[in-house]
Structure 1
C-alpha cells in the first residue's frame, strides 16, 4: 500500500479532459501536470479524451455555424463544442468509459461542461477556471444568445449534479457559489505549470543586469501587447537600451518591423527545443508585462513569478484577490501607455529590484502541483458519496 492510498484511500481515478492528457501541450499543460502528479502519487489514472470528434466539429464550425451567423447577424461565443449534439455524443463516451473502468473510485473532469452523473453513482469532480455564464457576465458584458443559453443550461445541469466543483480562482469561486445551489464548490489555491528544473536562488542577480522585457499571450491579448510595444518604443526613444520578447504572437500579428522586438509565436513546451527556449526567455527577463484589461494571462504571470520575475499587470479581479491591492513584486498599471511606461521606468531604476524578485518567487513557491493534488485528494475523500462507496466495498468481519 502506497502513502497516498494510506492517506486518502484512493487507488484509481478516471480523468476526462478536452484533449490527450498525456500530451504536455494540451490546455496550457494543465491536464498533463494534473494526471502526471496523480500517477506519481501511486494512483492508477485512466485518461479519457472528451474533445469533440474532428470531422463533425470541422464541418459545423466551417459551414453550419457560418451560415447561422450570416442568417441571424449574431456573433455569439459559440461553436460545435457547445452544441447539444456534441454534448450528447460525449455523454455516450463517458458512459462507455465508466463501464470500461469499473474500479475507478471517482470521475474527474477537467471541464465544467460534463459529468458522469447520468451513468454513475460515483462522485463527479469538476475542475476548471470559469463557466460560460461567467464569460458572458465578466468578459463579454452582454446577454447570451438563444444558442448559448441552451449551452449554459446544459452546463448548469452538470454543475448542479457534481459531487465537487473546484475553480482555480477565488473570485470566480464566489461567483459560482452565488450562481449555483450546489453546496460543494471550493477554491483550494492555484498552481504553477512548470515543466523545467527548479530555478536557482541566484537568478535575481543575473536578472538585474537584463535589458529584456517579456510578454506572454496569444492574439486575444493583442490589446495589451500593442500598449507594451508603444511604451517600449517611447523608452527606446529616450535612449534606454532594451529588448522586447513576445511569446504567443508573431510580428505579423502585431504589424511589427522593429529590430529590437522579437516575436516567437506559440512555443510548445511539449517540444524539447521550444521548451528550452521558453524557459530561457523566462529566466532572462527583467520583467514580465501584460496589461490587457480584465485578464493579464494569469498562468503565465505566476509561472514567471516562480522564476523570480517581477510583474506589471492591471489590477484585475483575480490577481488582486490572489495577491492583494499592493504587490511588492512589481506594479499595477492602468491599461494605458503612459501608466505602463512609468511602471517600466520604475522597474529598471528600482534599487530594491532583487527584493522584488525574491518576493515574486515567495508569493507562489507553494503553488506546486504536488501540494494542489494533495488538497484535491483530501477533498474527494471527504465526499459523502466517496465515503459511502468505501463502506459498500468493505467486507464484514464475519465474512473474512
Structure 2
C-alpha cells in the first residue's frame, strides 16, 4: 500500500456513531476510514455515541415538541446542550490519553473537538453549522436556546487547525471569520464503478420509464408535487415513481405506479442491493424541494449515470454551474415538473446518453480516494 505523507502515519477518526455502520452520517465515516487505510495509514475509530442512547432519545423528543410548538424546525437536540458538551469532553479527554501516538485527529462534526485536550493536529470535517442552517434554510434569527450550540461551534472551529466543509457556500459564509476553513470538494458515498459498467447502466436506464426520488419527510415539498406530476404523465405514457426514504402512508390514494420503499439500510446486504438496483434502473432522479434537494443522494445517482431534475439551489449551482449538461433545473410547480420529465422521456438514445454520461463525468472525481489524497496533501 502507498503510504500517506511521512508526517502523518496514524489517524484517529472521531464520530457520533459507529464508523463502520453505513447508517452513520450517510456512510461518510466508513468511506473516510476505508480510504485512509487504503493510503497506508493506521486508523483508529472512536464512537462518541456509546451509552448515550437515552439522552439522545430524550433530546429528539424535545426537538419534536419544540418544533411543533414553534411550527417550524428547531435546531435543538441533545447534541446542542451543555450536558452533551460535558459528557463528550470527558470522553475526548480519555481519547487523547488512549491514542497519544496519533499524528492527526479528525472530528467528524462541528460540535466537538480534540483541540482542548491535545497538541496534536486537529481537523474538523462536516457539512454545515447550526448557524448556517438557520440563516440559509430557515431564514430567521436563532432562538435563545439555539445560541449556546452556535457559540460553542464557533469557538471550536476558531480553535481547530483546519475546518473542512463539504460545501463551497459554507466556506464562503465563514471565510472572513475563520481563515483556516477549507473546501476541497465533495464525495460520492458509493463504491467505485468502472466506466464500461456505466455504459451498460445508461443503456438499461434508457429502456426504463422509472423515476427516482430519495429523501425523508423533510423533503415533502418536493415529493408531493412530483407525485401529482407522475399521475398526470401516467395518463400519457406508462411511468413509475420509486420513493426511497419515506413510507407509503404518505399516499393520499392507492396508486400502482408510485412505490414507496421506506428507508433502505446500506449496512443490510439485501436492502443495499435493493437500493442500488433502484438507482441503476432509474431513468432520472427528481428532487425539486426548495432550498435543499438531497445533495448527497443526487450526486450518488449522477455517479451511476443518472440525469437529474433538481432545484436551482446555491450549493448545487456553485458545484456544477448553470445550466447543467446532465439534466434540468426546475422549481416545485407541477406544470414545470411535468414538462421537464416529459423532455427526458421523449429523448432519443444519443441525447439521453449525453445527459447520463455527463452526470457520471461531473461526479467521477468525487471519489473518496481522490478526496483523501487532497486532504492529506493539504495537511503536509
**Partner of residue 314, structure 1:** 311
Q: What is the TM-score with the length of structure 1 in the denominator?
A: 0.89
Q: Distance in 2 between matches of 1:106 and 1:367?
A: 23
Deviation of residue 202 (structure 1)? 2.4
Query: 8 Å contact 1:195–1:269 — kept in the other structure?
Result: no
Query: 8 Å contact 2:63–2:74 — kept in the other structure?
Result: no
For residues 137-159 of structure 1, the C-alpha deviation after alignment (integer angstroms, 9 at most, x for no partner) is 00111111111111111111101
- Across the two proteins, how many residue pairs are aligned to each other? 375
Q: Distance in 2 between matches of 1:166 and 1:68?
A: 31
**Partner of residue 42, structure 2:** 44
Change (3 A) 1:97 1:167: same
Query: 8 Å contact 1:17–1:50 — kept in the other structure?
Result: yes
Deviation of residue 344 (structure 1)? 0.5
Structure 1 residue matching 2:252: 3-state secondary structure? coil
Query: 8 Å contact 2:198–2:305 — kept in the other structure?
Result: no
Query: 8 Å contact 1:222–1:254 — kept in the other structure?
Result: no
2:302 maps to 1:328: no
Structure 1 residue matching 2:175: 3-state secondary structure? helix
Change (3 A) 1:60 1:339: closer
Greater Cα shift, 330-339 or 50-59: 50-59
Q: Distance in 1 between matches of 2:266 and 2:118?
A: 35
Deviation of residue 58 (structure 1)? 2.9
Query: 8 Å contact 1:288–1:310 — kept in the other structure?
Result: yes
Q: Distance in 2 between matches of 1:65 and 1:365?
A: 38
Specify every segment of 5 or more residues in structure 2 that has no aligned partner in the other structure, as ranges.
none
Structure 2 residue matching 1:264: 3-state secondary structure? strand
For residues 40-86 of structure 1, the C-alpha deviation after alignment (integer angstroms, 9 at most, x for no partner) is 22211111112371123334554x77888899999732111110111
**Partner of residue 138, structure 2:** 140
Query: 8 Å contact 1:216–1:290 — kept in the other structure?
Result: yes
2:356 maps to 1:360: no
Deviation of residue 200 (structure 1)? 3.3
Structure 1 residue matching 2:43: 3-state secondary structure? strand
Structure 2 residue matching 1:214: 3-state secondary structure? strand
Q: Distance in 2 between matches of 1:119 and 1:254?
A: 51
2:230 maps to 1:244: no
Q: Distance in 1 between matches of 2:191 and 2:64?
A: 38
For residues 153-200 of structure 1, the C-alpha deviation after alignment (integer angstroms, 9 at most, x for no partner) is 11111010010011111111111213x2x2111111111111475443
- Which one has a bigger Cα radius of gyration? 1
Change (3 A) 1:122 1:354: same
Query: 8 Å contact 2:307–2:327 — kept in the other structure?
Result: yes
Query: 8 Å contact 1:196–1:279 — kept in the other structure?
Result: no
Query: 8 Å contact 1:219–1:253 — kept in the other structure?
Result: no
Deviation of residue 255 (structure 1)? 3.4
Query: 8 Å contact 2:67–2:73 — kept in the other structure?
Result: yes
Structure 1 residue matching 2:207: 3-state secondary structure? coil
**Partner of residue 86, structure 1:** 84
